Structure 1
Amino acid sequence: MEDSRIALPIGTTLDRFIKKKQDEFQYATGELSQLLRDIALAGKVVNREINKAGLINIMGPIGNQNVQGEDQQKLDVLANIRFIRALTKGGEACAVISEEDEEITDLCNDGKYVIAIDPLDGSSNIDVNVSIGTIFSVFRRVTAVGTPITEEDVLQKGVEQVAAGYLLYGSSTMLVYTTGHGVNGFTYEPSLGEYFLSHPDMKIPEDGKIYSINEGSFASFPEPVKKYVNYCKDNQYSGRYIGSLVADFHRNLLKGGIYIYPPTASAPNGKLRLLYECNALAFIIEQAGGSASTGHGRVLEVKPAELHQRVPFFVGSKNMVEKAEAFYRK
């Protein structure tokens, strides 16, 4: 075997990549870079907890419900604690909006950034060892540093995001993020404790053959969504639905496809939350050349009215999302 094949280069570490790209960010003072490192570190801790979940008593429901009325899993609560702790110690975030907390968490510091986060997306899949994830959004606070956090700081449109990303805990753990200059993916190498650049400049195909939707609720879908699903079937598209938003999104980002969570009888505004799920993934998909819509318009242009606001969500390959919107226009 050639020497060059014995020791192939692993690649660029996340820290080195962040430093190299820092000048692309208009507020390049190092604060956002540190914030991304804090999130990456918390992701390592959560990854460790997930990997040993079956060996210690941190699986299953904790016996409480979150603000949405959903049963909290033990790992939901643990992940929320880990991320808020990392962001608090890092000092760059002044406030956190989390799926697991009813109100804004004011970190009482001079940080300039507000974080919206779903600490553990797809947590109902934990007990069956299916891929789950973390989704995060980063905004610059609007009010003066040092003053109390207000809703004005957190109820910002998605177009105001300065960074967004997700962690996918699956067959390998990945961090994918954007600061508005394309999308890059990093794979975690646990023996070294480092994220390495594995998916540079990620782009979603303009078209795809995968549609991801919970067809168990088909009877209560709006008529345009029913027609679009039937259109997908008529054109022999593949139905792929994991039930973990991050996992479904990641597959479609790589292969081309559309993910849909429409309004239903039980969730007339959809189920996914605008601030800490839809905005982040919409920012990422647009940076990768795709599209994200409520069925009636661009997700990133929706002005939030409350912390846990829900919206219908159509996200993925540009042509597929446009086709779904066309059924609404008809």
Structure 2
Amino acid sequence: MLTTLDAVPAGTRPDLASVVDRLAGLAAALARRIQRGGLDEALGASAGTNSDGDAQKALDVIADEAFLSALRDSDVRYYASEEQDSVVEANPAGHLALVIDPLDGSSNIDTNVSIGTIFGLHKAADTGEASVLRPGSELLAAGYAIFGPQCALVVSFGDVPVKYVLDPDTQRFRLTGPLPAIVPESTEYAINASNYRHWDAPIRAYIDDRVAGTEGPAGRNFNMRWIASLVAETHRILTRGGIFLYPGDARPGYQAGRLRLVYECAPIGFLIEKAGGRATDGVDPVLSLRPQQLHARTPFVFGSANKVARVATYHDLPRSETSALFATRGLFRSGT
């Protein structure tokens, strides 16, 4: 019986619906807690660092404990979170494995920027590690809750993603329907341009050709977006297309990218591909990557399929040719 979602798409597996419904209930409660940010200063206070060395907010820890506690009697056997050192057994009788970033973008709480929860569901294997250290293509479902002007839940139960909106009066998520396919044409790209000097040549060339606008090989002007919240960036791309890039770069600790494969990139990549987009590490499909450890990182490029494919072509060029303004090269004479 659903308690927070008002409906699920026809044919949805009951076990997946039950777990996502429980996650939705926790998301609704978390949304209320976040709205009290200015009234409860402790929520934005530092809580030290997590197992991967990243700074935590008190609300990161609160959210993680709430999700794990609520899943102790669910179909979730294994719980793999950004905030945990290793995979935790939630319910020995469960047959699913949950990967989750309980509060993505928590550093933005103080600035009132949209943040969210990212999750994915695998079939449980014999051990926690075997359950979650697997390619994203094996996910059964994935989604995110976004806490912004509108609290929404976007989830794929294995098919086209659907969107829910939280009704603040009833505290239930109302199904608004399936998302349309990601549009192929958009003049928006998202990247942290302050790291330009650290990028490899193919990424610099791709961005240079966007910056060149109508005078460059794309023959059109582009707008750059950078929210520094993966959930917010994903929500924008699902809504109006475009591309997001978080490449690896030359800085210590960033050579393999910064985003986590298991509980950030794989679930988001799953959603994007189910919506007709594409998600890669710059070259290879991110859903084909097999993580070697829970907190493994990867470069991440996702969005409109044609735009993501175009980034890969820049990596195929000989290094001597990877520079901007290929106005005479037919390969790059395109608005993508």
Is the Cα contact below 8 Å between 1:174 and 1:188 reproduced in 2?
yes
Instruction: Tell which deviates more after alignment, 208-217 or 190-199.
Output: 190-199
Superposition pairs of residues 48-67 of structure 1, within 5 angstroms: 48-67=32-51
Counterpart AA for 2:44: G
Distance 1:58 1:228, change over 3 A: same
Is the Cα contact below 8 Å between 1:166 and 1:175 reproduced in 2?
yes
Do structure 1's residue 165 and structure 2's residue 143 form an aligned pair?
Answer: yes
Gaps of 5+ in 2: 214-220, 318-336
How much has 1:265 moved relative to structure 2? 2.1
Is the Cα contact below 8 Å between 1:203 and 1:254 reproduced in 2?
no
Do structure 1's residue 213 and structure 2's residue 191 form an aligned pair?
Answer: yes
User: Match for residue 187 of structure 1?
Assistant: 165
Is the Cα contact below 8 Å between 1:206 and 1:289 reproduced in 2?
no
Write out per-residue CA displacement over residues 198-235 of structure 1, whole angstroms, 9 at most, x where no aligned residue.
35233210232110011111100111000111111123
Is the Cα contact below 8 Å between 1:208 and 1:320 reproduced in 2?
no
Is the Cα contact below 8 Å between 2:78 and 2:128 reproduced in 1?
no
Superposition pairs of residues 270-289 of structure 1, within 5 angstroms: 270-289=257-276
TM-score, with structure 1 as normaliser: 0.89
Is the Cα contact below 8 Å between 1:184 and 1:202 reproduced in 2?
no
Distance 1:198 1:229, change over 3 A: same
**Separation in 1 of the partners of 2:51 and 2:315?**
31
Instruction: Tell which deviates more after alignment, 49-58 or 285-294.
Output: 49-58
Aligned pairs, number: 306
User: Match for residue 234 of structure 2?
Assistant: 249
Identity %, equivalent residues: 34
Q: Output the aligned Cα RMSD.
A: 1.5
**Separation in 2 of the partners of 1:187 and 1:202?**
16
User: Match for residue 8 of structure 1?
Assistant: none
Do structure 1's residue 239 and structure 2's residue 224 form an aligned pair?
Answer: yes
Write out per-residue CA displacement over residues 101-139 of structure 1, whole angstroms, 9 at most, x where no aligned residue.
111111142111000000001111001111101100100
**Separation in 1 of the partners of 2:112 and 2:70?**
26
SS in 2 for 1:59: helix
Is the Cα contact below 8 Å between 1:155 and 1:305 reproduced in 2?
yes
Write out per-residue CA displacement over residues 137-179 of structure 1, whole angstroms, 9 at most, x where no aligned residue.
1000122xxxxx3421221110100000000000010000001
Write out per-residue CA displacement over residues 6-49 of structure 1, whole angstroms, 9 at most, x where no aligned residue.
xxxxxxx973422x52x2x4xx3x22111011110110111011
**Separation in 1 of the partners of 2:33 and 2:47?**
19
Do structure 1's residue 299 and structure 2's residue 286 form an aligned pair?
Answer: yes
How much has 1:85 moved relative to structure 2? 1.7
User: Match for residue 120 of structure 1?
Assistant: 103
Counterpart AA for 1:118: D
**Separation in 2 of the partners of 1:108 and 1:92?**
7
